[in-house]
Amino acid sequence: MTDAIDNSGQPIRTTRRSRLDAFLFACRGPFERELAPLLATLFERLDDALYDLADKAGSDRLYARYFDAMRLFRKHSRNIKTIFLGELQRSAERAGNGLAEPDSALMDSLRMEDFSLVEDGDLEESLAVGNLVSKAENRYHRQLYELGRYIGDLLGARELSPRTNPLGPAAICDAFSAAIRPIQDVDLSIKLVVYKLFDKQVMDRLGGIYDQCLSLAVRNGLTPAPPPGRASTDHRLAVSPHPRHAQTPRAGQMPHGTPPRVPGQVSFDELRSLLDQWRGTPRQARGGPVATGVVHTGELVALLSELQGRPLPARPDRLTPQNLLVRIEGALRTEQHQRGGQGRSLGEIDEDTLELVSLLFDSIVQGADLPDPIKALVARLQIPLVKVALLDRTFFDDQDHPARRLLNRIADATVGWSEEDERTPNSLYGRIEQIVGRVIGGFDRDMHIFHELDAELAAYLAENAVRTRTVEVQVCYQAAGRDRIASAQERAQAVIDDRLRQAPPVPPVIATMLNEGWRKVLQAAYLSGGKNSREWLNAVDTVDLLVWSIQPQVTGEDRRTLLRRIPELLRGLRTGLSAIDFDQRVLALWFKELQALHLTALRRTGSEEERGPATPTDTQAALGVAEDRASGHAVGRTGAWGPSGPGPAATPGANRELATRVQRLVPGSWIELMHDARRVRLKLVWVSSNGQRMQFVDGHGREGPEVASDDLVTLIAYGLARVIRGKDDPPLVDRAVAALTHNLSH
């Protein structure tokens, strides 16, 4: 709570809530001023686009459809604008009440089974909106971060994510979706055209609005963070020839009150301290030529810029700290020889920085995230990233550093890349190759190039994300459908097996009738209504009645009951089997044999002599057939992906550990499988309700194998599969920093 003074000189007590309301109200000005003409331009462009589509229409029906849509949007353009701005205002008003999550953010939390409740058109529209949001969040990352800090502070939070920011792209896109929702009878294809133009005419032009809102925030007390990666004149550019400060905390000896370390977020000073311990030998005792001078950081950066443009070794992923240092020392000797000066060496901080970045790259190239061809591309960024770390020491502990974000995005984009994928200029590989080339050729000291390239890559990926996600969802539909069928088969077979085990031996025709015919009726009933439905319960009762009806009826009352219930049984069997289009000729033969069994049951008294000995075709044989069928289904779609032959001699503890790792995999995790002597990267997109079946897709969302979880455990034990990344694993560079910290500490 703060004090303010009104015009009369009286103090006014203002709460954070009132300050937030005042700030959001002030931001309405830039939004309403700027968005109104942008929307007007949008509708003009939409007229042109729909007219062009109508002109190219291949039928009168399509021609009329485009012109009808043009007429509807012209008629409702004013209402769309009013609803749009009104929804934005309501989003701002909800901010003080906990910031209700925008609809577009809900896509990230949907479970796969939830997609069955969404119509295909609605799903594709939601994915298109999510695509616009993601592109804008990357485009305006810095402005949204600052606005999120300010609004979060007013709400009593540390910061606000872009998805929950009432001024963010998610709120804007949701407001526009709500504004065009009342327009009926518009095809999805036309709506996608509208969203594409909205992205181009509105979302691409939000930068000026956000800048005005930031200016308002600064006038109200926001202290902007330093621009991303801009070198300042502070200690980050200083070269200290002096030994390390004694106050530098050692590993495991953080000062009292220091918060726990976040994976991937370690201070440069702590890394230097760990590096000193890891070397083991003090710097003064390591020997080497005696230098009379120190190369300043600026000179080293210039030298690295020169090396950056030279050809790299045949294996750039083998550019070790020693090799890089040799190249730098060679360049220094060349400079000394040309100038006739005295020998100079690197400053301690700069030498440590060089070695830390090189070790960091070792962790990256030795990890499983990147395919080998992508590793070779990324390894070419080592010298530019050494320059980044020299110019900005926060590279090691700022998880949002633009250079780290670019590396992380490359890793996320290529985790599913395959050797068979294209390498054309417009392919993913070609784009990353261009990015690496632009960094090598264009990065000197300005870190903004990383922010720019990251935004470009994000926009490129977003273009394909909707299509890939739509394909994945369809694969999940199919996998979920197969799972429901498999569950129904298992339920049906379990009922039959249970009744046959409990009953006295049954004649072959009864086992056949149940396993070949009624099992399918049970399956259909379970698929239709589930285990509590009337259809399922009636089908189970029919199994009980059938098995009971062929047993010897000892008492007169039992025989009368059987006579009374035989018509009910036959009617139920005929109705159920006819509903699944069962062969009526086979059914007639079964009923003829069943009639004979019923006559025998009515005449028997229940003695062992009358029953006769059990035959091999009785219950045991019936259960054996059922088990063979069940085991055949369990192999299912794994096929050639499953291992053959005896498994490796693994200890029970190791098997349990592998099984636990597999059980913890959730959709979004990536694995690598050996298939036809090549490694294939696959994404887990669906897990059955019992955790026994897993559906995978390739990097383009296309259907891959469905693997039983037990088979995956065996494949990993064989060395034929490995887990590359879990869905919730930290980004690549964060894990590399954590691995570097661990390696230096041990």
What are the pLDDT digits (tens) for 654-693? Answer: 678 888 889 889 999 999 998 777 889 999 999 988 888 9
What's the number of domains the chain is made of? 4
Residue 252 has pLDDT above 60, yes or no: no
* Bigger pLDDT: 605 vs 609: 605
Within a domain: 245: no
Look-up of token digits 């979880």: 709
Distance CA 294, CA 341 (A): 12
Question: In this structure, which long-range contacts are made by residues 525-534, counting pairs with CB atoms below 8 Å and at least 24 apart in sequence?
Answer: 526/487, 526/488, 526/491, 526/492, 527/484, 527/485, 527/488, 531/491
Amino acid identity of residue 54, one-letter, is A
Q: What percent of the chain has pLDDT over 70?
A: 75
Query: Do 386 and 485 fall within a single domain?
Result: no
- pLDDT of the residue at 476: 87
* Residues whose CB falls within 8 Å of the CB of residue 4, separated by 6 or more in sequence, listed in order: 11, 12, 14
Query: Do 410 and 268 fall within a single domain?
Result: yes
- pLDDT of the residue at 684: 94
Within a domain: 258: no
User: Measured on CA atoms in the order 189, 191, 195, 197, is the torsion positive or negative?
Assistant: positive
Query: Do 111 and 181 fall within a single domain?
Result: yes
Per-residue pLDDT tens over the stretch 517-553: 999 999 999 988 888 899 999 999 999 999 999 988 8
Residue 647 has pLDDT above 70, yes or no: no
Closest to 283 (Cα-Cα) out of 362, 350, 360:
350
Task: Give the least confident one: 67-71, 161-165, 436-440, 739-743.
Answer: 161-165
Quick one: DSSP state of residue 265? Answer: B
- Residues 557-584 have a mean pLDDT of 91
Distance CA 282, CA 648 (A): 47
Token digits of residue 365: 């190239």
Query: Do 412 and 538 fall within a single domain?
Result: no
Query: Do 60 and 151 fall within a single domain?
Result: yes
Distance CA 400, CA 262 (A): 13
Using alpha carbons only, how large is the chain's radius of gyration in Å?
35
- Residues 10-24 have a mean pLDDT of 64
Amino acid identity of residue 494, one-letter, is A
- pLDDT of the residue at 565: 92
Within a domain: 27: yes
* Residues whose CB falls within 8 Å of the CB of residue 327, separated by 6 or more in sequence, listed in order: 307
- Residues 624-653 have a mean pLDDT of 45
| Element holding 27 (H helix, E strand) | helix 16-55
Residue 715 has pLDDT above 80, yes or no: yes
Within a domain: 215: yes
Beta bridge partners of 722: 672
Alpha helices in 96-168 (DSSP H): 120-139, 141-154
Query: Do 606 and 669 fall within a single domain?
Result: no
Distance CA 128, CA 111 (A): 18
- pLDDT of the residue at 653: 56
Query: Could you say which of 219, 243, 273 is where a domain stops?
Result: 219
Q: Decide if 658 contacts 718 (C-beta within 8 A).
A: no
Q: What percent of the chain has pLDDT over 90?
A: 27
Quick one: DSSP state of residue 640? Answer: G
Within a domain: 58: yes
- pLDDT of the residue at 273: 87
In this prediction, residue 240 has a pLDDT band, given cuts at 50, 70 and 90, of very low
Residue 285 has pLDDT above 60, yes or no: no
Query: Do 34 and 85 fall within a single domain?
Result: yes
Query: Do 579 and 678 fall within a single domain?
Result: no
Residue 254 has pLDDT above 70, yes or no: no
Distance CA 489, CA 522 (A): 8
- Residues 148-155 have a mean pLDDT of 83
Per-residue pLDDT tens over the stretch 89-122: 888 877 655 544 444 444 444 444 444 444 555 6
- pLDDT of the residue at 128: 82
Token digits of residue 472: 């994945």
In this prediction, residue 40 has a pLDDT band, given cuts at 50, 70 and 90, of confident
* Residues whose CB falls within 8 Å of the CB of residue 234, separated by 6 or more in sequence, listed in order: none
The range of the structural domain enclosing residue 95 comes to 15-219
Per-residue pLDDT tens over the stretch 186-200: 888 899 899 999 998
Q: Kindly tell me the burial class for residue 637, based on how many C-beta atoms sit within 10 Å of its own C-beta (0-12, 13-18, 19 or more).
A: middle
Secondary structure of the chain: what % helix, strand, coil (to 5)?
65, 5, 30
The pTM for the full model equals 0.61
Distance CA 504, CA 30 (A): 83
Q: What is the mean pLDDT of the chain?
A: 78
Query: Could you say which of 440, 457, 473 is where a domain stops?
Result: 473
Within a domain: 224: no
Residue 178 has pLDDT above 60, yes or no: yes
Task: Give the least confident one: 14-28, 356-370, 554-568.
Answer: 14-28
Query: Do 171 and 68 fall within a single domain?
Result: yes
Which CATH number goes with the domain that contains 653? 2.30.30.140
Residue 33 has pLDDT above 90, yes or no: no
- pLDDT of the residue at 173: 92
- pLDDT of the residue at 634: 37
Quick one: DSSP state of residue 451? Answer: H
Query: Could you say which of 448, 473, 498 is where a domain stops?
Result: 473
Query: Do 655 and 538 fall within a single domain?
Result: no
How distant, in Å, are the alpha carbons of 372, 376, 430, 568 from that of 315? Answer: 11, 7, 19, 80
In this prediction, residue 312 has a pLDDT band, given cuts at 50, 70 and 90, of low
Query: Do 402 and 437 fall within a single domain?
Result: yes
Distance CA 240, CA 356 (A): 17
Within a domain: 5: no
Within a domain: 123: yes
Query: Do 525 and 625 fall within a single domain?
Result: yes
CA atoms within 13 A on the CB side of 274: 24
| Beta strands 344-346 and 293-295, pairing class | parallel
